[in-house]
Amino acid sequence: MVSIARQKGAVLIVSMIILLVLSLISVSAARTILLEEKMTFASRDAKTALEAAEAILRVAEDYLENDINTTGDFGTEGNDWLHLEGEGPVDLFDSSEWAGQSIDINETVNGQALKGRYFIEMAGVADNMDASESITVEGYGNSTGAGVINVFRIVAQGEGLSPHTKRTIVVQYGRRF
């Protein structure tokens, strides 16, 4: 049997080193988990903003297709979000430039909460010489329903779970009146 007086505390030192190593591993794991949680939220937030922008884009397309019968509403007072060619906001990432030149959306559409805004700008008339991949309009070139195809630039901006996360989509949309 070993006497207590002969022990030098080696077990205590080894135990403290093992405890220190386990503590460092635990702190590192906690930091990693927090970082992964932030990355997951940011990814979800970005996807939510993109989905909102896509849904707002569909609202704008639906407006062009069903609620407007002429281009005469563009550039008129009271329709500050319907712009003539070249008169829409230039810097799409500057929120102050959107103010008063877009329509805000803060509603639920098809069960999805949407928050964002959009504007529509006339972009000209589709030319018969346009390459087939530059614009797609159903029935274009058919003898029925012939007429001028007006092209519009729709800019939709969706907001994510955080008001600082925004995604912007720009599309060209053709409509025959």
Mean pLDDT of 134-140: 53
CA dihedral 49, 55, 57, 60 (to 10 degrees): -130
Q: What is the CA angle 25-36-27, rounded to 5?
A: 20
Summarize pLDDT for 32-82 with one digit per residue, the tens. 999 999 999 999 999 999 999 999 999 999 999 998 888 888 888 888 889
- β-bridge pairing 166-176 and 149-159: antiparallel
Question: What is the predicted pLDDT for the residue at 122?
Answer: 93
Share of the chain above pLDDT 90, in %: 47
Question: What is the predicted pLDDT for the residue at 7?
Answer: 66
153 contacts 57 by C-beta, under 8 angstroms: no
CA 31 to chain centre: 29
Question: What is the predicted pLDDT for the residue at 10?
Answer: 83
Summarize pLDDT for 109-134 with one digit per residue, the tens. 677 778 999 999 999 888 755 554 55
Local confidence band at 143 (pLDDT 50, 70, 90 cut-offs): very low
Contacts of residue 92, Cβ cutoff 8 Å, sequence gap at least 6: 98, 155, 157, 168, 170
List the end-to-end C-alpha distance of the chain, in Å, as a whole number. Answer: 103
